[in-house]
A and B are shown apart, each in its own frame.
Chain A
Amino acid sequence: MSDQVSPSSGSASGAGTVSLDTAHQHGTGGLPAVFENPGLPPHVHRAADDDPVAAKRAERQVAALFVLSILGTVGFIVSYFTIDYTKSVFIPFIGLTNLLNVMLGVTLGISLLGIGFGVVHWAKTIMSDEEIAEDRHELRSTDADRQSVGVVLAASGESAQLARRPMIKATAGAALGLFALPLTVQLAGSMGNPTKALDELKATIWDVPAGGEPIRLVRDPELTPIKASDVTIGSVFHVMPATLMELREHNLEQGHAEYHGVLEAKAKAAVVLMRLNPSEFKDDALGRKAREWGFEGIVAYSKICTHVGCPVGLYEQQTHHLLCPCHQSTFDVTRDCEVIFGPAKRALPQLKITVDDEGYLVAPQGFAEPVGPSYWERLK
């Protein structure tokens, strides 16, 4: 790197910044360095400016557009009161669509566009099209004005004795700094109870209390129990815990709304269940663990994506991949739902399952780790 400026014509050379006010410094005889502004070009008259026939034609066109607008408005009113809202209409390139919506929209559109085109056509053909120049002025205030602001502020400070009364200055500053605190505390303190967050994010209604009964797996949304023998190889089930029904019954007993807390429970409890041929699991630690936590090739995994929580609803039967439709994270069921592609990092948590005496699938324990998207204290 050198501190030299390469010589370049058309710029000031040597030290100092280039003055942008003078782009060109060619000295060439009597010619100016830059072209003079030739001023506004001569104004060209339009047809309607000189020809009364053209002017009359323009007037008629504008009036016709306004009449079109009036017709649109009338059409809207008529459509509103006469068209049956269940009627459909076929429109080429658009398909079958609701007649009332089309008629209301088209008539309103005509009403608005008639005014729009009419006014603009009026402006372009009849109103003066002579361009006018207005001077600009520098935005900054005069030095005198600026100074007087300073003077008034200084005088105000003097009158309030700001400098001489440090106690007032300090306490006023503190009071003003703090007055928003009560409002902030009220708002933040009452938005929701964050102290429950860490416990609740871990818990699901699959959790079995110590000594409790295993929880049956039920179909979503029918809520019917699933016999292991009903799950054929290659099939996939969307599953909820049987405790979901207990939650609704409990709500009714307690006099709550039936669905109180149901969506919140479902948002963490959703499970997807597949049956693979047991030999299809990879013969490594992950594959073996997946098989062991399942039942004869039936495995159950949390359906809530570990990326941002969309339901991992797409199962590729041939490849045994689970795919999240939101951001395409892909999980390999034969290797304990490890992430094989996409933005998610962690495997879907597995739900350990077995069968009860009647052959129905049950979960003897909840998930071993929090389900759903990652959060700061997930490992706590």
Chain B
Amino acid sequence: MSTTASGRTAADLRADDTAAAAPTGNGRVAATAGWVDERTGLAKGTAYLMKKIFPDHWSFMLGEIAMYSMIICLLTGVFLSFWFVPSAGLIPYAGSYLPLQGVVMSEAYSSTLAISFDVRGGLLIRQIHHWAALMFCVAITVHMLRVFLTGAFRKPRELNWVIGTILSMLAIVEGFAGYSLPDDLLSGTGIRAAEGFIRSIPLIGSYTSYLLFGGAFPGEAIIPRLYSLHVLLLPAVLIGLFTAHIVLVFLHKHTQFPGPGRTNENVVGYPFMPVYTAKAGGFFFMVFGVLTLISALVTINPIWAYGPYDPSPVTAGAQPDWYMGFADGALRLLPGFLEFELFGFTWSMNVFLGAVALIPVIYTVAGAYPFIEAWVTGDKREHHLLDRPRNAPVRTGLGMAAFSFYVVLMLAAGNDIMAIKLSLSINDITVLFRLLVFVVPVLVFWVTKRICLSLQRHDREKVLHGRESGTIIRTADGKFFERHEDLDEFDRFKLVAFEAPAPIALEALTDANGVDAKAIKKAKRRARLSSFYFKDRVEPVSPAELAAAHHHGEHESISGGSTHAAIKHDKHND
């Protein structure tokens, strides 16, 4: 594929930057800019960056939503920190919320009530902060899915994928820390459970709990410590990694979907100034505006209704924030028999696996995926053109299977709510989920792969036989057929611009010294995986096939035009 962009290149755009169009230096703005440039030399880079090209696609805005939600969290978080008192010290409440007056509660809870009732607009800021945090986690998750399903994690972007997975994991931790700060009954019960999680760590659990809580649970240390993590350490790490994430996007230049004029060697879209800045900047205000409207109209986390934390009472239907749902669901599904006693010690695997091990394991597997796929394909090229999800059926199947595993666990965290709303037995629901968590991902993989292959065959048919025009033609001898319209070369190219690699063949691995058993095992494993990925595939229509179809077409159109788009199926070659 070659660059055939017709004269509209960024180099053209930059061609007249140097002399003629430069500001003459008369205006005050130019004078200020000149003053700054003399001290920083920033103009050189700025001129180049302002014309940097960004491609357009709706799915590229998912990451933007995550970025803007994070900025909104930072902004509203600073506001909240002016009124919030991160102290577990107990005081009698004396604010304006009558039902709780005189109740002994922590200063953290009391100040959160003050933000909600006594600070004008404080409730709005608190609710924007909470909704933006939820949106942050949603957007990260969907952005991650987009990147995975389009293969945007391939070389040279593997490191950025790893940074992204770390960001995603830290967002969960940051969310949990923030959720715990108001010290209301619900979030306090969350910390109570978290202490149970920590205790389940083999060997060091009890000591770790005492270190983190500064003694016995709950103690007065955990609220200020979580506050430090939530407002200082984690935001610093998040912002650092986020900056690296964005810098790498700039360095790599954004990926684009294949299409006419778009190649692996160019990036087609709009320049940073003014179009992209306007669109992205405007989109920030849209995200902020929508979050504000939600916060104005939909109450989130009404802590005044729960009361202050006390280890004895509890509310039924206790649910964590959604991003913690999958871990909570795993905890509900893991059966009690996973706890056992061995060598005189208690191994609480029913808790440890779901509450402590699950999150790092999931994110490690996710972070490792680009390297696994690269090893299987043996592909060392840079990939700047995205795959349409259907054109990588096995990867898409794997991604959706992993996501369905996540969703089943998340839904399992609502087993009590489902039991109440649907009048079903909670035991039956839980047992069903224990089954579904294994069955659903396998089913989803198979169904997704078949759907991808069908869509690919549909694409082939569209290329070979054109679009149904809706025009019925009657022939002289009374037969009817529908006229098909050929795609134009631009639309056609979108459907044929992909690769469908065949499985890797097993090489002969004998040399002068005989057979290297280890190397053979490795090669066999790789060939097996390659076969798993690529044995079923639909290849793009080639010009020869299209020419043949056109030739047949004249005869076939009358009989309805059968399709020959078959799935290629290689037998296991291992």
The reply to whether A311 and B313 contact each other, CB–CB distance below 8 Å, is yes
Question: CB of B170 within 8 A of chain A?
Answer: no
Taking a contact as CB atoms closer than 8 A, the residue among B10, B379, B497, B539 that contacts A135 in the complex is B10
Taking a contact as CB atoms closer than 8 A, the residue among A16, A130, A309, A325 that contacts B505 in the complex is A16
The reply to whether A259 and B104 contact each other, CB–CB distance below 8 Å, is yes
The reply to whether A23 and B261 contact each other, CB–CB distance below 8 Å, is no
Question: CB of A373 within 8 A of chain B?
Answer: yes
Across-interface contacts of B560 in A (CB, < 8 A):
none
Across-interface contacts of B281 in A (CB, < 8 A):
119
Question: CB of A289 within 8 A of chain B?
Answer: no
The reply to whether B207 and A197 contact each other, CB–CB distance below 8 Å, is yes
The reply to whether B346 and A376 contact each other, CB–CB distance below 8 Å, is yes
The reply to whether A191 and B214 contact each other, CB–CB distance below 8 Å, is yes
Across-interface contacts of B339 in A (CB, < 8 A):
345-346, 374
Of the listed stretches A29-37, A170-178, A276-284, chain B binds A29-37
Across-interface contacts of B204 in A (CB, < 8 A):
376
Taking a contact as CB atoms closer than 8 A, the residue among A37, A94, A111, A327 that contacts B260 in the complex is A37
Taking a contact as CB atoms closer than 8 A, the residue among B252, B332, B384 that contacts A343 in the complex is B332
Question: CB of A240 within 8 A of chain B?
Answer: yes
Which of B275-305 touch A at CB < 8 Å? 275, 278-279, 281-290, 292-293, 295-299
The reply to whether B200 and A380 contact each other, CB–CB distance below 8 Å, is no
Known: A41-B261, A135-B3, A264-B217. Contact between A35 and B492, CB under 8 A?
yes
Known: A20-B377, A259-B104. Contact between A113 and B9, CB under 8 A?
no
Main secondary structure of the interface of A (DSSP, over half): loop
Q: Considering the chains assembled together, what is the distance between the CA atoms of A116 and B280 in angstroms?
A: 9
For A272, the closest partner residue in chain B by CB is: B312
Question: CB of A188 within 8 A of chain B?
Answer: yes
Question: CB of A64 within 8 A of chain B?
Answer: no
The reply to whether A35 and B496 contact each other, CB–CB distance below 8 Å, is yes
The reply to whether B318 and A377 contact each other, CB–CB distance below 8 Å, is no
Across-interface contacts of B6 in A (CB, < 8 A):
39-40
Known: A31-B547, A259-B90. Contact between A374 and B200, CB under 8 A?
yes
The reply to whether A128 and B275 contact each other, CB–CB distance below 8 Å, is yes
The reply to whether B501 and A38 contact each other, CB–CB distance below 8 Å, is no
Chain B nearest CB: distance from A132 CB in Å?
5
Question: CB of B422 within 8 A of chain A?
Answer: no
Question: CB of B274 within 8 A of chain A?
Answer: yes
Chain A 1-32 per-residue mask, 1 if CB under 8 angstroms from chain B, else 0: 11111101111111111101101101011011
Across-interface contacts of A191 in B (CB, < 8 A):
211-212, 214, 221
Across-interface contacts of B570 in A (CB, < 8 A):
6, 8
The reply to whether B211 and A132 contact each other, CB–CB distance below 8 Å, is no
Question: CB of A335 within 8 A of chain B?
Answer: no
Which of A107-159 touch B at CB < 8 Å? 108-120, 122-124, 127-136, 138-139
Question: CB of A198 within 8 A of chain B?
Answer: yes
Q: Considering the chains assembled together, what is the distance between the CA atoms of A200 and B206 in angstroms?
A: 10
Question: CB of B228 within 8 A of chain A?
Answer: no
For A93, the closest partner residue in chain B by CB is: B297
Q: Considering the chains assembled together, what is the distance between the CA atoms of A8 and B219 in angstroms?
A: 68
Question: CB of B156 within 8 A of chain A?
Answer: yes
Across-interface contacts of A32 in B (CB, < 8 A):
543
Across-interface contacts of B206 in A (CB, < 8 A):
194, 197-198, 201, 375-377
Of the listed stretches B17-25, B120-128, B448-456, chain A binds B120-128
Which of B89-127 touch A at CB < 8 Å? 89-90, 104, 117, 120-121, 123-124, 127
Q: Considering the chains assembled together, what is the distance between the CA atoms of A3 and B210 in angstroms?
A: 59
> Which has the most chain A C-beta neighbours within 10 Å: B9, B199, B201, B354?
B199
Q: Considering the chains assembled together, what is the distance between the CA atoms of A273 and B275 in angstroms?
A: 69
Known: A123-B275, A196-B215. Contact between A105 and B293, CB under 8 A?
yes
Question: CB of B481 within 8 A of chain A?
Answer: no
Across-interface contacts of B544 in A (CB, < 8 A):
26, 28-29, 31
The reply to whether B210 and A194 contact each other, CB–CB distance below 8 Å, is yes
Question: CB of A362 within 8 A of chain B?
Answer: no
Question: CB of B310 within 8 A of chain A?
Answer: yes
Across-interface contacts of A330 in B (CB, < 8 A):
427
The reply to whether B496 and A34 contact each other, CB–CB distance below 8 Å, is yes
Chain B 193-229 per-residue mask, 1 if CB under 8 angstroms from chain A, else 0: 1011101111111110111111111110100000000
Chain B nearest CB: distance from A217 CB in Å?
14
The reply to whether A102 and B253 contact each other, CB–CB distance below 8 Å, is no
Question: CB of B345 within 8 A of chain A?
Answer: yes
Known: A105-B124, A266-B311. Contact between A14 and B200, CB under 8 A?
no
Q: Considering the chains assembled together, what is the distance between the CA atoms of A136 and B383 in angstroms?
A: 11
The reply to whether B270 and A134 contact each other, CB–CB distance below 8 Å, is no
Known: A18-B505, A311-B313. Contact between A267 and B275, CB under 8 A?
no
Which of B357-408 touch A at CB < 8 Å? 377-379, 381-382, 384
The reply to whether A311 and B314 contact each other, CB–CB distance below 8 Å, is yes
Across-interface contacts of A263 in B (CB, < 8 A):
218, 309-311
Question: CB of A88 within 8 A of chain B?
Answer: no
The reply to whether B344 and A380 contact each other, CB–CB distance below 8 Å, is yes
> Which has the most chain B C-beta neighbours within 10 Å: A4, A26, A119?
A119
Taking a contact as CB atoms closer than 8 A, the residue among B4, B299, B318, B331 that contacts A325 in the complex is B318
Question: CB of B489 within 8 A of chain A?
Answer: yes
Q: Considering the chains assembled together, what is the distance between the CA atoms of A326 and B174 in angstroms?
A: 22
Question: CB of A61 within 8 A of chain B?
Answer: no
Which of A44-58 touch B at CB < 8 Å? none
Known: A106-B296, A117-B286, A267-B192. Contact between A325 and B351, CB under 8 A?
no
The reply to whether A113 and B260 contact each other, CB–CB distance below 8 Å, is no
Known: A192-B214, A327-B332, A343-B350. Contact between A134 and B297, CB under 8 A?
no
The reply to whether A113 and B286 contact each other, CB–CB distance below 8 Å, is yes
Q: Considering the chains assembled together, what is the distance between the CA atoms of A191 and B572 in angstroms?
A: 58
Q: Considering the chains assembled together, what is the distance between the CA atoms of A200 and B503 in angstroms?
A: 61
Across-interface contacts of B232 in A (CB, < 8 A):
none
For A377, the closest partner residue in chain B by CB is: B206
Q: Considering the chains assembled together, what is the distance between the CA atoms of A15 and B266 in angstroms?
A: 34
The reply to whether A39 and B261 contact each other, CB–CB distance below 8 Å, is yes
The reply to whether B497 and A37 contact each other, CB–CB distance below 8 Å, is yes
Across-interface contacts of A194 in B (CB, < 8 A):
206-207, 210-211
For B505, the closest partner residue in chain A by CB is: A5
Across-interface contacts of A286 in B (CB, < 8 A):
none
The reply to whether B289 and A113 contact each other, CB–CB distance below 8 Å, is yes
Which of A320-337 touch B at CB < 8 Å? 325-330
Question: CB of B421 within 8 A of chain A?
Answer: no
Question: CB of A250 within 8 A of chain B?
Answer: no
Question: CB of A85 within 8 A of chain B?
Answer: yes
Q: Considering the chains assembled together, what is the distance between the CA atoms of A270 and B10 in angstroms?
A: 71
For B10, the closest partner residue in chain A by CB is: A134
Across-interface contacts of B542 in A (CB, < 8 A):
24, 26, 28, 31, 33-35
Chain B nearest CB: distance from A201 CB in Å?
6
Question: CB of A71 within 8 A of chain B?
Answer: no
Chain B nearest CB: distance from A111 CB in Å?
8
Across-interface contacts of B278 in A (CB, < 8 A):
119-120, 122-123, 127
Across-interface contacts of B485 in A (CB, < 8 A):
none
The reply to whether A130 and B384 contact each other, CB–CB distance below 8 Å, is no
Across-interface contacts of A218 in B (CB, < 8 A):
none
Across-interface contacts of B203 in A (CB, < 8 A):
376
The reply to whether A310 and B210 contact each other, CB–CB distance below 8 Å, is no
Chain A 261-304 per-residue mask, 1 if CB under 8 angstroms from chain B, else 0: 00110111010000000000000000000000000000000011
The reply to whether A310 and B318 contact each other, CB–CB distance below 8 Å, is yes
Question: CB of B410 within 8 A of chain A?
Answer: no
Across-interface contacts of A34 in B (CB, < 8 A):
496, 540, 542-543
Known: A8-B570, A16-B507, A133-B268. Contact between A192 and B121, CB under 8 A?
no
For B489, the closest partner residue in chain A by CB is: A38
Q: Considering the chains assembled together, what is the distance between the CA atoms of A123 and B285 in angstroms?
A: 14
Chain B nearest CB: distance from A161 CB in Å?
35
Question: CB of B41 within 8 A of chain A?
Answer: no
Q: Considering the chains assembled together, what is the distance between the CA atoms of A85 and B297 in angstroms?
A: 15
In the A-B complex, the 4 residue pairs with the smallest Cβ-Cβ separation, listed nearest first, are A105-B296, A308-B196, A11-B502, A40-B261
Knowing that A17-B378, A37-B260 touch, tell me 9 more A-B residue pairs with CB under 8 angstroms.
A20-B501, A39-B4, A98-B123, A105-B296, A106-B297, A192-B214, A257-B89, A307-B336, A376-B345
